[in-house]
Amino acid sequence: MAQGKKSNNLKLFNRNTFPLFYFLILFILCLTIMGLDYRYKISNEIKAEISIINTPVNFLINLPETLLLEVKNNLVTKELLEEKIKTLEQNIYYLSIKNQENKLLRSENKLLRNKLKIHKKFNIVGVNAEIILPNVKNGYGVITINKGIKDKIRNGAPVINNNGLVGQIINSTKSYSEIKPLTSIKFAVPAIKDSGKENVILYGNGNGELEIPLFPARSKLKVNDIFMTSGIDKIYPKGINIGKVIAIEPTKSPKFNNILIQPFSQPTSYSQITVLKIKKND
Partner 1 sequence: MTKKTIIQKRQENYLITILALVSLILSNVALPWTENPSSMPNYFIALIVIFVVLEKANLNLSKLFIIGLLVDLILGQILGQYTLIFISIYALNFLIGKILIIKTETQILSLSSFIILFSFFVLWATSQSHDIIFPLGLLFHQFILTLFILLILKFTINTFTTK
Residues near partner 1, by CB under 8 A: 2, 8-14, 16, 18-19, 22-23, 26-27, 29-34, 36-38, 42-43, 46-47, 50, 53-54, 57-58, 60-61, 133-141, 185-186, 206-208
Min dist. Cβ of residue 137 to partner 1 (A): 6
Instruction: Compare residues 27 and 270 and give the one whose CB is closer to partner 1.
Output: 27
Min dist. Cβ of residue 163 to partner 1 (A): 20
Characterize the bridge pairing of strands 188-193 and 164-172.
unpaired
Q: Which of 188, 195, 177, 168 is nearest to 261 (CA)?
A: 188
Instruction: Compare residues 47 and 238 and give the one whose CB is closer to partner 1.
Output: 47
> Strand runs (DSSP E) across 85-194, as ranges?
124-132, 136-137, 140-141, 143-145, 158-161, 164-172, 177-181, 188-193
Instruction: Compare residues 29 and 246 and give the one whose CB is closer to partner 1.
Output: 29
> Strand runs (DSSP E) across 97-163, as ranges?
124-132, 136-137, 140-141, 143-145, 158-161
Min dist. Cβ of residue 266 to partner 1 (A): 13
Min dist. Cβ of residue 279 to partner 1 (A): 31
Instruction: Compare residues 161 and 183 and give the one whose CB is closer to partner 1.
Output: 183
Instruction: Compare residues 63 and 80 and give the one whose CB is closer to partner 1.
Output: 63
Q: What gap in Å lies between CA 191 and CA 254, rounded to an integer?
A: 24
